[in-house]
């Protein structure tokens, strides 16, 4: 696959033409609205040849882009022919992690009491039914127990909220883990109800706008409900740099340019194992802290999601290999977008980048 390298690995200098300080001595850096400083891998304490090999291997496996940050600065950024820094593509379930942050922001602002609040306070048809036992936590952790098979994840002509909320109870809430995108979709509507304004407007004001994610849009369609037109929500479209902004925000505990946008306690809980049923899953984030199950959910103890990488790694993962991989102990963020890669490419990419940064598995 022909590629265009946006940052020459081994060449330094900031985007504004001023060489940044060496790794370990630099003040905390944040990208500007239009500029993003680069740092030569060796200045960032990263082995240039190992990093180049890792990125090249990923690009050869159906990738449209790979972007690596250390200390907030770009140390590698590569695009396939026809792609580029502002080129967007759908990020599939990686958007779940963004919605998780928006739920946390609603909690910070008192719009949602806590993750233990009944979701029926925002899904009216659950009031006074057994589904009133389903909490926000259950929806965030894929433990609602609702039967989701047969529900559409795209192109709903009717009212997504009404259709998905009508799913029958298959297991008592909190007793069964199953990766359920239709049940996750209910959280778009929970945020909208809690915020008292359209979901997109709330997201723009509290997350997308403050982070400068100028290329990001939400994947929706118009449906028809019992009382008229409705908006059905599915995912988001993002550029690699927008995903890198989101990853840097999460890596730094929910801060952006000195402002705490989300409570650090919520984000710590969201990016840590959230229940005993699947140790690899938090609040719509994937974790490397404990062994756990994959999105397919088949069997127990399938191992760590990212073998060969630090156990503090957490990630936003979407179908087809749309990912934001975050290693706080190494001050690394790795973004990859493209078509479906080989089954081991993403763990190998992250492990190789971590090794280039000095990590010993």
Domains of the chain, first to last: 3-85+331-356 (no CATH), 92-236 (3.40.710.10)
> Which one is predicted more confidently, 2 or 341?
341
Structure tokens at 252: 């730094």
Q: Which of 139-143, 174-178, 242-246, 290-294 has the lowest mean pLDDT?
A: 290-294
- Non-local (6+) Cβ contacts of 233 within 8 A are 160, 185, 188, 189, 199, 218, 219, 220
What pLDDT score was predicted for residue 22? 52
Mean pLDDT of the chain: 92
Q: For 117-143, what is the mean pLDDT?
A: 98
The Cα–Cα gap between 327 and 354 comes to 8
Structure tokens at 32: 């500007």
pLDDT at 146 exceeding the cut of 60: yes
- Kindly indicate the confidence band of residue 15, based on its pLDDT and cuts at 50, 70 and 90: very low
- Kindly indicate the confidence band of residue 296, based on its pLDDT and cuts at 50, 70 and 90: low
Q: Hunting for tokens 């974790």 — which residue is that?
A: 287
Cβ atoms 284, 298 nearer than 8 A: no
Q: How far is CA 186 from the centre of its chain?
A: 17
> Which one is predicted more confidently, 5 or 337?
337
Query: pTM of the predicted model, to two decimals?
Result: 0.93
pLDDT tens digits, residue range 22-53?
555 567 999 999 999 999 999 999 999 999 99
What pLDDT score was predicted for residue 24? 58
As to burial, measured by CB atoms within 10 angstroms (0-12 exposed, 13-18 middle, 19+ buried), residue 236 is buried
């Amino acid at each position: 696959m022909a590629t265009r390298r946006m940052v020459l690995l081994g060449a330094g200098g900031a985007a504004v033409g001023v060489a940044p300080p060496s790794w370990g001595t630099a003040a905390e850096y944040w990208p500007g609205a239009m500029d993003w400083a680069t740092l030569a891998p060796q200045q960032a304490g990263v082995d240039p040849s190992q990093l180049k090999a890792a990125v090249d291997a990923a690009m050869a496996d159906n990738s449209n882009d790979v972007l690596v940050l250390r200390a907030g600065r770009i140390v590698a950024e590569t695009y396939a022919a026809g792609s580029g820094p502002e080129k967007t593509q759908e990020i599939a379930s990686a958007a779940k992690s963004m919605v998780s942050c928006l739920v946390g922001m609603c909690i910070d602002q008192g719009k949602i009491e806590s993750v233990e609040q009944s979701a029926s306070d925002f899904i009216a048809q659950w009031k006074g039914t057994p589904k009133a036992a389903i909490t926000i936590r259950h929806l965030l952790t894929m433990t609602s127990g609702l039967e989701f098979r047969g529900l559409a994840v795209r192109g709903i002509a009717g009212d997504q909220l009404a259709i998905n909320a009508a799913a029958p109870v298959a297991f008592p809430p909190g007793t069964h883990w199953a990766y359920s995108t239709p049940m996750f979709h209910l959280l778009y509507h929970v945020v909208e109800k809690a915020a008292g304004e359209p979901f997109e407007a709330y997201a723009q004001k509290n997350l997308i706008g403050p982070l400068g994610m100028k290329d990001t849009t939400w994947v929706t369609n118009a449906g028809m409900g019992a009382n008229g037109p409705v908006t059905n929500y599915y995912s988001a479209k993002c550029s690699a740099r927008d995903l890198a902004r989101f990853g840097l925000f999460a890596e730094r505990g929910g801060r952006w340019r000195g402002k705490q946008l989300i409570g650090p306690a919520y984000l710590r809980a969201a990016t840590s194992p959230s229940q005993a049923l699947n140790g690899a899953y938090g609040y719509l984030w994937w974790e490397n802290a404990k062994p756990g199950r994959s999105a397919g959910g088949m069997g127990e103890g399938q191992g760590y999601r990212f073998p060969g990488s630090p156990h503090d790694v957490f990630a936003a993962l979407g179908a087809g290999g749309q990912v934001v991989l975050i290693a706080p102990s190494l001050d690394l963020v790795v973004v990859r977008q493209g078509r479906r890669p080989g089954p081991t490419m993403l763990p190998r990419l992250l492990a190789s980048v971590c090794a280039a940064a000095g990590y010993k598995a």
